[in-house]
Structure 1
Amino acid sequence: MDQTYSIPFNKPYMSGKELHYISQAVLSGMIKGNGNFTHKVHELFKKKFGFENCLLTTSCTDALEMAAMLIGIKEGDEVIMPSFTFVSTANAFVLRGAKILFADSLADHPNMDVSKLEALITPKTRAIVPVHYAGVACDMDKIMELASKYNLYVIEDAAQAIDAYYKERPLGSFGHMATFSFHETKNIIAGEGGMLVINDQQFFERAEILWEKGTNRAAFFRGEVNKYGWVDAGSSFLPSDIIAAFLYAQLENLEDIQRRRGEIWHYYKEKLQVLEDEGFIKLPVNQNWTTNNFHMFYIVCRSLDDRSALINHLKAHNVLAVFHYLSLHKSEFYQNKHDGRDLPNSDFFTDHLLRLPFFYEITEEELEYVVSLLFSFFKGTN
């Protein structure tokens, strides 16, 4: 576990008011889901990012599952998404019976190669699920053009992409729906937690019903109906207001959290540039259409052996750095269901990408130490 290392990969950050707001929620006597702090979180996202409607969920996984239900995914439907992503992206649609058509990554970035998507579209395709890796936007103009041309839904997996933008427009505002994560490894956290953003008005009413276990309970408490009952399939997707209270304290400090994460990201970039210049590693790249929300800092090693040796070198000095996703098309569960296409770029990032320690409270001395270990590994210096 991270705690055994002097410099862990991640450390959850407390901005200061989390316990105070949790106490408020508890003392209010209303700690169930869809309470006061849930409403505060919803309103903050609508005001800050202009989202038309959003629902706090217990996880990004739940938000993805809601999206799959809302667009009516069924047995035999096809959904296009990157292979280099977390299993939840695929699971949400597999659970509804969909076949996943995995797209390869770009050669220079883990995001999926949008230029290869059209060839994957068939009459059975229902949706495209772009994943904004490291908070860096996919080419949403091209994705939305394809969706319009073939009458497809777009579900943005923006798990890592809070406060990230594509051509000055927030990620999560392009697709018919979008999902966010507040897992403890994200910029803004609630331990566990997520959110579904609904940008297409046709889904507003039903989304809330699915969220409330298939009932119109939320409408009842707003006084819109005189009783509530079971009106659709659904589940318990909404989190306790205790989780919402913790999250609200984080969101109030979004600008400060992003400022500090930016400092850390730029420190790594500046100090490690010489290692890239000399051919030891590659550093993250951005397209000119996207911002960087400083979700993570990764390097791309020359080989799998190089990466494995570097991980061990860092561990030997009490620093934890970790690789990331394993290509889903080669997973034990899906490899026999995959259509057999090689996805070399996804496999490349599976074997070469390494994430460095990155959290709000990492000190300048700790950053210097991590960088010094990379130099000692690649250049044999102390």
Structure 2
Amino acid sequence: GRGSGNAASGSRGDGGNGGDAGAAGDGGDGADGDVLNIEGGNGGDGGNPGNAGSGGTGATPGRNGSVPTSGGDGGDGGDGYDAASDPAAVPGTSGGEGGAGGNGGAVGNGGNGGNGGSGADGANGINGSDSGDAGSEGQSGGNGGNGGAGGDGGATSGNGGSGGLGGNSGSGGIGGSGANGADATDTDPAQDGGAGALGGSGGTAGNGGAGGDATNGTNGNGGNGGVGGNAAAGGDGGDGGNGSAAFPDGGNGGNGGNGGAGINGGAGGNGGTGGLFLGNGGNGGTGAVAVTAGVTGGAGGAGGNTGYFALFSRGGHGGAGGAGNIRGGDGGAGGTGGRSWLFNSRGGDGGAGGNAGIGGGNGGAGGSAGNAGGDKILNNGATGGSGGNG
């Protein structure tokens, strides 16, 4: 693919899509000083399984300084080739990476990150044909692509973009069956049947992209982690973006993806930090449940801290740990509360530990209250998370 260039006087320049196995073009940047063509172009989607293009940057407008000048969205990563129909295929290919969102210009929002492509399923093994032949092994599945990061908000104001979702992993192929042994004859004994082959392993799920930082607006949330395929670990959630230097809240961390059979759930992302004066910390993402005999639940993300002088602002709550078969995930710690010359704000609560068949996860620690020294009217700590049930 090839980007169509920066905007000048025509339409916004979007990146071209990638061809087969090709990476996509990036979106063009907006034209500084223009009136109409000031938004960044969108990145193109990756060809299968190419990486996606990034979004272009928003421009600084000319005659009207309040016109929104958003960054372009990142394209989606292409999916991996599907190898399941080809008996002699190589393992399933991985999905492409999602493109990053472009940054906002002036008063613009950051573009959203693109989603990661899905990994392809591995090919199934070949069954044994002649008497007593073993089957061939199944091929492994491809990895999911990571989600793209969200763009930052503009210099004057604007929200950060959200991170893209991580791609799902491909499943491993089924192992081939062994051929039956030949029956006994008058002269020859019966033959043993062939051995069945192992199935291929599943790929790894992609991680969610991080949310973009704000400037003077609120910021983007972290992307969710991709869901793990069979025998694949879940992807982790992206972290929330940070608030600006003034008032906005930190973004929430994304949730972890679910783990496949026998494997761990993904961890939740961490909450972003709140703005300097009144911004609350973002909440940590929830750890994923490890499904179908999963071993350990994902850990909850930590809550974000408030800004240093954030009067009455709350630290973010820690995310809850996911449930597991063997052990539950630990809850995330709560964020620290704001502090000022008179009041101290409340710290965030710790997340609950996940339940498990054997050992419950530990509860997260409660966030500390803000503390700048001296006598305070309010000085509230926070509650620790409860431990999970075994």
Instruction: Give me the TM-score of the superposition, normalised by structure 1.
Output: 0.22
Bigger radius of gyration, 1 or 2? 2
Asked which structure has the greater RCO (Cα within 8 Å, sep 6+), the reply is: 1
Normalised to the residue count of structure 2, the TM-score between the two structures is: 0.21
